[in-house]
Structure 1
Amino acid sequence: MTLVEEFPDVRVRAPAKINVFLAAGPRADDGYHELATAFQAVSLFEDIIASHSDGFSLSITGPIDTSSVPTDDSNLALRAARLLAEHTEYGGGVHIDIRKEVPVAGGMAGGSADAAAALVACDVLWGTGLSMRELQALGSRLGADVPFALMGGTAIGTGRGDVLNPALARGRFEWVIVPNALGLSTPDVYREFDRQDDSPAAPAVPSEVLHALRAGDARMLAEALHNDLQAPALRLRPDLAAVLEYGETNGALAGIVSGSGPTLAFLAENRIEARSLQQSLERAGHEALTVYGPVHGARVV
């Protein structure tokens, strides 16, 4: 039996993420910012199917607007596949079908999830047999959030956010996600952030965040939620502030801009409260999704 006959295609699922804490240092000479962040993978997933092909190609479907997602070689999933082929000297190609459910340009790392899923799928499809550590090293060359999409769960990220240490998180945290049709450019948010000059030289995740995660205590975590990119994101998109206020006065323990935005994440005390908040937001005219975390990283399904 040939490899193509044994593995005609491989399906992999990778999660979106929420930064429950994010602190950024000043911009370094290389243009990047040192970060200290606490990631949590949540139950909103990207699914990809990788199939054998002579070349490299991509198609995208899903319930969200994907018109702004590139299908050429600039797509992170295709870049991931080509990088793996180059690294392992694999001579064939792949066709990748992506079903997108994570908001595009929404601060939840949907593109990074695609890249992580592509690395795992192509590694299995091609039988290249890389370790998770090797896949994460390749992922870090594609984007700072890719290694976490591979890992999943809950983790502390330092450096550019790609140096990861797993964090103990007990129980299940309930979130209500409010996406926004108008994406927000991460570089634009960081440029707005750079206009302030009070960022710490060495950012760190405070012990309060770790204690809340370890205890599985939603109320404690709500008190510790923080995102240095929230203020610059709201300056660029002041319309989001009203949605944050609405959620926090209608049942959320706390709300936060997810990553660089514009997606908003509201922490709820339990599933019943999350569902009630979702319904309230929908009655007010906002799209709202209930998700939970932590969940697994990219894996074959």
Structure 2
Amino acid sequence: MDRAELAAVLRTARARVEPAEVGLPAGSRRQVPGLRREEVAQLAGVSVDYVVRLEQGRGPKPSTQVLGALTRALRLGGDDRNLVFRLAGSEPPRAGHVPMLVRPSVLRILDRMSDLPALVLSATSDVLAWNPLACALLGDFSVLPPMRRNLVRERFLGDGLGRVRLSEEDEERTAAHCVGCLRTARARYPDDRDLDRLIAELRSGSGRFDELWRIGRSSTISATTLTVEHPVLGPLTLDCDTLLVPDVDQTVVIYSAAPGTPAAATLDRLRVV
């Protein structure tokens, strides 16, 4: 990671962006050209202090998700975006790889969902983003290393947060579907080495997964129901509906319950807890 050069590129890029380009008012009190650091932080979904440290050449190595958000906020084209990724010590996004960067507009949708838990999943069921209620319902994904924030991995290897409970009937009904989603992703992204490693780990670590993988069926993420065993509120059986973000092959999963049901009342309590 070339911190000094990355800092210079980010500062220069920020000065080039006019507020109107990103839907912000210009105002009459601007003392510097381009965007303020606070505005870049708002657009990218990071803290102002984080932007300050990057621009001063003393920040940590940014994740690819943060790099994607910053380059979008700064309206960088393909070549300039790739430069930022490489200066930060990361490979730029390439065709044939599972998209892992969540658009700021999708993050804003999560922020506005203040009364329902919601997640953003990649094509391989990696948990890419979540709102506070999803964290309260399913557990704090930030305590897990990124490679373990995967719902299929959690399902078959059981080394994640472990709050989802499946009946024997649900297990039989949904197991093949989960494996089929990974097989579909494997066909779409044949050059993704991270996906290959995930599948190899699941096949070696779970006989059930390996058995279903050898059957060879495919599937896609779809609506379902699940039961979450909350450590304070007890079991909640919720509907899980999905909204597709097709151009990046991602899914927004929203958890809800019908009005007037015990599960809906428990969700109301979850907001308080």
TM-score range, shorter chain: 0.3 to 0.5
TM norm structure 1: 0.32
Instruction: Give the greater-gyration-radius structure (CA).
Output: 2
Bigger fraction of residues in helix: 2
